[in-house]
Structure 1
Amino acid sequence: MDSAHYIDIVLVGGGHAHAQVVKMWGMNPLPGVRLSLISPSSFTPYSGMLPGLIAGHYSFEQSHIDLRRLCHWAGVRYISDRALAVDTENKAVILSEQPDLPCDFLSLNNGITPDLSIDGAQEFAIGVKPISNFYQQWQTVLQQEEAGIISVVGAGVAGIELSLAMAERLDKEKRTANIQLIYPQPELLPDAPSKLRQTLSHALKAYDIECLPGYRVTQFTQDTIHGETPDGEALRLYSDFHLLCTQAKPAQFARESGLKCDEQGFILLNDALQSVSHPWVFAAGDTAQQANHPRPQAGVFAVRQGPILFKNLQAIAQGKALHHYTPQKEFLKIISLGKRSAVASRGQKAIARPGLSAALVWQWKNHIDQKFMARFRKLPVKKMGNPHGRPLTLDLPDGNILPDMHCEGCGAKVSADTLQNTLRELSDSPALDVEQLPEDAAQLSLPSTSTLLQTVDSFYGLVTDPHLQGRIACLHAMSDIFAMGAKVHSAQALITIAHAGENIVKRDLKRILQGILFELERHQAKLIGGHSSLADSNSIGLVVNGYKASGPTLLKNQLQDGDHLILCKALGSGIIFAGEQQGLSQGPWIDAAIEPMLQSNYPAAQLALEYRASACTDITGFGLGGHLLEMLRDSSLCAEINTAHLPLLDGVSTLLTQKVRSSLSPKNLRTLRPHANHSIDNTAAEILADPQTGGGLLIAIAAERSSELLERLNDQGYRRSMCIGRVKTKHKHHLELLS
């Protein structure tokens, strides 16, 4: 196993082609190959449904593919980040937030960006791409009492469709708005069939959309568009909302990375969808152009390229011949007309068969779009995949064979070479104590007059991104130190890596350590040693050393009668991730659950000290109810909790109605129920029993200082902080729940 080499394939972007690759990979995984997807957003839009989304025909969820859910189902590693460039020399992707991500093969399907070269466009205009930015701005327009004047610059198909879609939405809501369509051409779509132009012109007139042909825009200001009229006179148009639908361009990082591109910056590909300059790089969709078959940028090509890309990524990983793709010269265009109507054309012919009304064309388009999206909504029931590829026997191109048996005990250790090489590569980190690492045990030198604190915790691979695993595990383990108002001094890590090829093991070990070192460094602590091993999945444990100088220490069992109880983070992470296991949690819910896990509890604990809190603990595996019982144990006090004030993560309420709960929840409930009053309902019980990863602090503080502490916590970024109840003399139960 140690000499075996796994293949690492990375997909950048969640476009139409890559979404299909992930789906097809989930149905036919390749043993010995790990597939990863990098995307800054877990929801990716399907461009064919954008006009319907803007017009209000589809919801946001109906018109977007949930990449995180899809990747989880397919056993594909999901990395939430933005790709900045490709390191073609070292075969790695340079990321915005994380360390560079190495790979063996790379595929790019990250779309195009708006051309913001017009003066003032970056400050005052919004491009249609990326769609997420435009949609957010459109929601702002819809919330205003008056939409005002909306200017659409560019009368290509996208500009016309969006003008009609916005007009339809505003008309349905009985809102008044003036929409003006501005374009430099003397007429709409001059290269399109005359019948198609006539139909579109009639639709625009029906919505009173003002067309301004021959107008050249040269500058945007906050409320004005400047340029030239067809007669060469100065143009000055008032506008409340500037929308750019001009020809978009590919991301610049492709050319800056050294990939060969055409004059416009699109990656040049051969017929196998490989970069003509770097054969280990593939691409698809709007970001690329086939050298032998140039075509206009259109979603239909990305959809058609998806299956070919999937086959070629699997083929190149196995050293097999690649498939060629020749795009069709003419393709079907179906253009939405605002209402549930549409017009169709292919090449230079408008499709106008007898009886084929605009409503029927729209139904045709809707059927095509819904059929495509159903591939990603209705995922077959299957055993969740392993993001490393199943460890089965596989003949690889270099002649190695991956065994399906793994040693245990001390034979399950990561190899010495892998460990030492990884640590050597990380030796520049100020959080790595390189002098301590070679020794069998670490020597601690604490500040004089301080007290040594020590805790241990472990973290199973809740997320598939090793860097995030390291960060979350480190913060989770350090939280017990923070909850006592102390500082972290050092840590030792126990890291288990999933069985895979030595290259994959080294890459995962390095990224986990980078995540751990990132958090230790920002808390002025060091990694002083640890142990690494191999098993069936990634897991991380940390022994954390802390110290407390003179002054009060926050303890959990010092509650005082009359104290207010302040919870610093929202609840429900156990429910959210249990929902992910069942394919029920939406990607944005997972994103929202991870965000507070990456928020340190140290500032909150320091504020608790500053405001002389009575007691403090962090909410983790036993849930809010279990940890609150620990605070009340052997006391004559009880906690009165207003369950309506419990802050919940996005999606928790929905999942509770679907009977989703963590596997630890029933055990926590058995502990909780005998100590709670009989008014506790099932919903409240599930929330109180839900185990938290990286949960917030629960702070008990005198009532007169509660409001000010809440205000300070909010200023420090704990925006879901809430006073959830109070401490009072015990009557019968330790927990009294109010609905």
Structure 2
Amino acid sequence: MDTSRLPLTRDLVLIGGGHTHALVLRKWGMRSLPGARLTIINPGSTAPYSGMLPGFVAGHYARDELDIDLVRLARFAGARVVPGAADHIDTTAQLVHVPGRPPIAYDVASVDVGITSAMPDLRGFAGHGTPAKPLGSFAAQWGTFREGDAPAYVAVIGGGVAGVELILAMAFALRSRGRLAQATLIDSDQALRAIGAKARHRLRRALVEQGVRLEENARIERIEADHILLQDGREILSDFTTGAAGARPYGWLADSGLDLQDGFIRVGETLQSSATNVLAAGDCAHMDFAPRPKAGVYAVRQAPVLYHNLRALLTGDPLRRYKPQKDYLKLISMGAKEALGERFGTTLAGPLMWSWKDRIDQAFMEKFRDFPAMDPPGLPAEHTLGMEEALGDKPMCGGCGAKVGRDALLGTLAGFSHADREDITPLPGDDAALLTTGSTRQVISTDHLRSFCNDPVMMARIAAVHALGDIWAMGAEPQAATANLILPRMSPELQSRTLQEIMGAASDVMQQAGAAIIGGHTSLGDELTIGFTVTGLCPRPAITLAGTRPGDALILTKPIGSGVLMAAEMAGQSKGEWVAAALAQMSQPQATAARILQDAHAMTDVTGFGLLGHLLGICEASGTGAELHTSKIPLMQGAAELAGRGIRSSLFPANQAAMPELKTSGWQDLLYDPQTAGGLLAAVAADQADDLLDQLRAAGYPAALVGKATSSPGTITLSA
């Protein structure tokens, strides 16, 4: 049975992209639960793996080797990714709050947000210190600092295992670059007091070998930009000060209503909190039944139990108990490619231990680099002729990539005659219609998108911006909108939740644009589709496709490449950071850009037909040609690399067929790439172009001068 067509009835929300949740997502991709809608909330598109952080700090690993790509992982699991940091969980209303979006409802939730090593009580640390956790921000700041060229002074506050690993790695990295001036480890007590005597002795010797200054029983008065002031009056020089002095919970957990232990969520053997439908794992959880130190090994081994129990709460099956081991192998990096291993009092150190640690770490990360391919359902044994060709060799794209090709659409529309009405102004080629009532000029347009993103809020924002594009392109002021929604089959409760998310997000976009949503229509179908019919008022003559003059400059307000990026994301071949950046650009409104370009001679928004297709529309309507400067065309992050690998949107062949005389290959095929909520393409007077570009860039648009209009009607040429 095709389980993808079964109705959704329950919401499972994972808060945080910690190691346990990453493993749960992978397991979910291997065996999902029909009827469950899975959501992962995380501040970024990646989740760094803590086990390899010292190796990165020392320079043994590249930055991207640390990261679990949550966007790819979520696509494999069929989950939606919500970018942002949760700041409240309401266990009564069963809502998770994330700034900048409607609350996210859950039936079952799990928390794996890790810990922080911020030191709010230490004067000056907030302004001049860098917490070692969360790892993502620390790694980014260290990566920048490490690549400098001046003599470096560094310090780590906290003499536990984590602090020693960090200072050894920092000292090694800077010494290797000939930059180490001083490395200092500071502890308010005795360093390494929580490990065995043999291991402590070996690590203290490593500190000496790496030239690390050890300050024990030292009390800090405050942190300054270039030094640390101790309470006894001494100063320790440090241009990069980090803190690894113990684990601290995130403050928002204190208002969760959950039972806490020193700010950490108390959980029982089933990993359930005091709210039985909220579980917790990893460092943010305190195991009441068997207290353990904060260590990644427990988070990893909690994953099978958490995965089982989350499913069990959604199905009514019995829960399993988690039994943590009493001790575990500690593998501690020592700066160079050496490590110390300790378990049950036995200690070994050297390059062999590093190789062992590296193999363990790489094996863990390998789980998230290549996902098992899921075979698509085969065709029935008996089917009509032409079915293979109609299906194609790739899944149908969402967004504008799912639209009908330019030739098919224009060929059909050409058969319609315009009504003999004086209040309708025919605008061949324009997506919006111009209506006149008395002295009022009004434009109307409709557009809808087949979902390419599992987050209804993000899809609603992009669909609203996309629908408004035709209004902005004609220089009109958005007025009113009606929504047209198709929801996948789901229970009435999930229908209500989803509609609230969609309409909340869409209303925000429309209201910011000056329009009001006044109604709409909803139905259930196989997949999420969001569309809007929008009207706008023209306080001045509408800008159309016609009007371009030879010599006009062509300005594009957004980069291109969304079709290829979304096609690659569907296939699990796009980096999460590329997808996140593309979604952010697609959801950027164009109201300010339209106001800046209000004196354009002609304008359109670049959507399904791609940059070349929409430019051709301007040329045909204006009776001009165009020259595109390919090196000036802004591209979305990762788009050129993906195009170079041969990835194309499913609408690409139809777009390319519309202009067979233009030969492109590699990244230049992006000129045919269908865009969703793409930028405005405007023909402006050449002597105004530079000033307009300055205004657009100051307003936050990555605009570019991409070409010029020519006097050769309908002819488009490409130049460097």
Amino acid at match of 1:191: A
User: Is residue 2:477 matched to residue 1:487?
Assistant: yes
Of 285, 290, 294, 1:297 maps to: 294
Of 705, 709, 718, 1:723 maps to: 705
User: Is residue 2:502 matched to residue 1:520?
Assistant: no
Of 213, 221, 224, 2:216 maps to: 213
Counterpart position of 2:644: 657
Q: CA deviation at 1:384?
A: 8.3
**Matched residue SS, 1:198:** helix
Of 604, 615, 623, 2:593 maps to: 604
Counterpart position of 2:715: 734
**Matched residue SS, 2:660:** helix
Unaligned runs of 5+ residues in structure 1 are 386-444
Counterpart position of 2:581: 592
Counterpart position of 1:134: 138
Q: How does 1:660-739 map to 2 (within 5 A)?
A: 660-674=647-661, 676=662, 680-683=663-666, 685-718=668-701, 720-730=702-712, 734-739=715-720
Distance 1:341 1:98 in 2: 46
Counterpart position of 1:253: 252
Whether the aligned pair in 2 keeps the contact of 1:72 and 1:384 (CA below 8 Å) is no
Counterpart position of 1:342: 339
* 1:253-283: CA deviation from partner (whole Å, max 9, x where unpaired): 2221111001x211100100000x2111100
Counterpart position of 1:284: 281
Structure-2 change in CA distance of 1:548 and 1:318 (3 Å)? same
Structure-2 change in CA distance of 1:5 and 1:685 (3 Å)? closer
Whether the aligned pair in 2 keeps the contact of 1:669 and 1:685 (CA below 8 Å) is no
Amino acid at match of 2:22: A
Q: CA deviation at 1:446?
A: 11
* 1:509-551: CA deviation from partner (whole Å, max 9, x where unpaired): 22111111111111221111111001111001111111102x2
Structure-2 change in CA distance of 1:634 and 1:526 (3 Å)? closer
Q: CA deviation at 1:613?
A: 1.9
Counterpart position of 2:416: none
**Matched residue SS, 1:254:** helix
Whether the aligned pair in 2 keeps the contact of 1:615 and 1:701 (CA below 8 Å) is yes
Distance 1:254 1:617 in 2: 48
TM-score by length of 2: 0.89
Distance 2:556 2:716 in 1: 16
Distance 2:437 2:360 in 1: 68
Q: How does 1:367-516 map to 2 (within 5 A)?
A: 367-382=359-374, 449-516=439-506
Unaligned runs of 5+ residues in structure 2 are 1-5, 378-434
* 1:354-406: CA deviation from partner (whole Å, max 9, x where unpaired): xxx61111111111111111111110001689xxxxxxxxxxxxxxxxxxxxx
Tell which deviates more after alignment, 506-515 or 471-480: 506-515
Q: CA deviation at 1:147?
A: 4.7
Whether the aligned pair in 2 keeps the contact of 1:181 and 1:210 (CA below 8 Å) is yes
User: Is residue 2:49 matched to residue 1:46?
Assistant: yes
**Matched residue SS, 2:143:** helix
Of 23, 27, 30, 1:24 maps to: 27
Counterpart position of 1:121: 125
Of 538, 554, 558, 2:547 maps to: 558
Whether the aligned pair in 1 keeps the contact of 2:547 and 2:622 (CA below 8 Å) is no
Structure-2 change in CA distance of 1:147 and 1:23 (3 Å)? farther
Q: CA deviation at 1:636?
A: 4.5
Distance 1:259 1:383 in 2: 42
Structure-2 change in CA distance of 1:251 and 1:707 (3 Å)? same
Distance 2:71 2:133 in 1: 21
Distance 2:8 2:57 in 1: 48
Of 611, 615, 618, 1:631 maps to: 618
Whether the aligned pair in 2 keeps the contact of 1:469 and 1:515 (CA below 8 Å) is no
Counterpart position of 2:172: 168
**Matched residue SS, 1:633:** helix
Amino acid at match of 2:269: D
Instruction: Count matched residues.
Output: 657
Whether the aligned pair in 2 keeps the contact of 1:566 and 1:698 (CA below 8 Å) is yes
* 1:388-427: CA deviation from partner (whole Å, max 9, x where unpaired): xxxxxxxxxxxxxxxxxxxxxxxxxxxxxxxxxxxxxxxx
Q: CA deviation at 1:19?
A: 0.5
Counterpart position of 2:270: 272
Whether the aligned pair in 2 keeps the contact of 1:75 and 1:384 (CA below 8 Å) is no
Counterpart position of 1:200: 203
Distance 2:585 2:321 in 1: 46
TM-score by length of 1: 0.86
Q: How does 1:148-187 map to 2 (within 5 A)?
A: 148-186=152-190
Whether the aligned pair in 2 keeps the contact of 1:9 and 1:103 (CA below 8 Å) is yes
Structure-2 change in CA distance of 1:297 and 1:691 (3 Å)? same
Structure-2 change in CA distance of 1:447 and 1:266 (3 Å)? farther
Of 305, 316, 319, 1:308 maps to: 305
**Matched residue SS, 2:336:** coil
Task: Using the aligned pairs only, state the percent identity.
Answer: 37
**Matched residue SS, 2:351:** helix
* 1:129-151: CA deviation from partner (whole Å, max 9, x where unpaired): 11111112112212432152111
Counterpart position of 1:243: 242
Distance 1:113 1:545 in 2: 49
* 1:488-510: CA deviation from partner (whole Å, max 9, x where unpaired): 11011110000122222221122
* 1:302-344: CA deviation from partner (whole Å, max 9, x where unpaired): 0010111000011111111110012112111100111111110
Distance 1:145 1:309 in 2: 46
Q: CA deviation at 1:248?
A: 2.4
Whether the aligned pair in 2 keeps the contact of 1:141 and 1:147 (CA below 8 Å) is no
Structure-2 change in CA distance of 1:666 and 1:446 (3 Å)? closer
Amino acid at match of 2:347: I
User: Is residue 2:634 matched to residue 1:647?
Assistant: yes
Counterpart position of 1:351: 347
Distance 1:564 1:683 in 2: 26
Q: CA deviation at 1:564?
A: 1.1
Q: CA deviation at 1:108?
A: 0.1
Whether the aligned pair in 2 keeps the contact of 1:589 and 1:651 (CA below 8 Å) is yes
Whether the aligned pair in 2 keeps the contact of 1:5 and 1:502 (CA below 8 Å) is no
Distance 1:177 1:350 in 2: 35
Distance 1:617 1:544 in 2: 16
* 1:32-81: CA deviation from partner (whole Å, max 9, x where unpaired): 22211111111101100111111222222221110110010111122112
Counterpart position of 1:324: 321
Amino acid at match of 2:639: V
Whether the aligned pair in 2 keeps the contact of 1:564 and 1:706 (CA below 8 Å) is yes
Counterpart position of 1:389: none
Amino acid at match of 1:255: A
* 1:626-660: CA deviation from partner (whole Å, max 9, x where unpaired): 00000000555221111111111111121112110
Whether the aligned pair in 2 keeps the contact of 1:286 and 1:302 (CA below 8 Å) is yes
**Matched residue SS, 1:713:** helix
**Matched residue SS, 1:377:** coil
Distance 1:237 1:446 in 2: 75
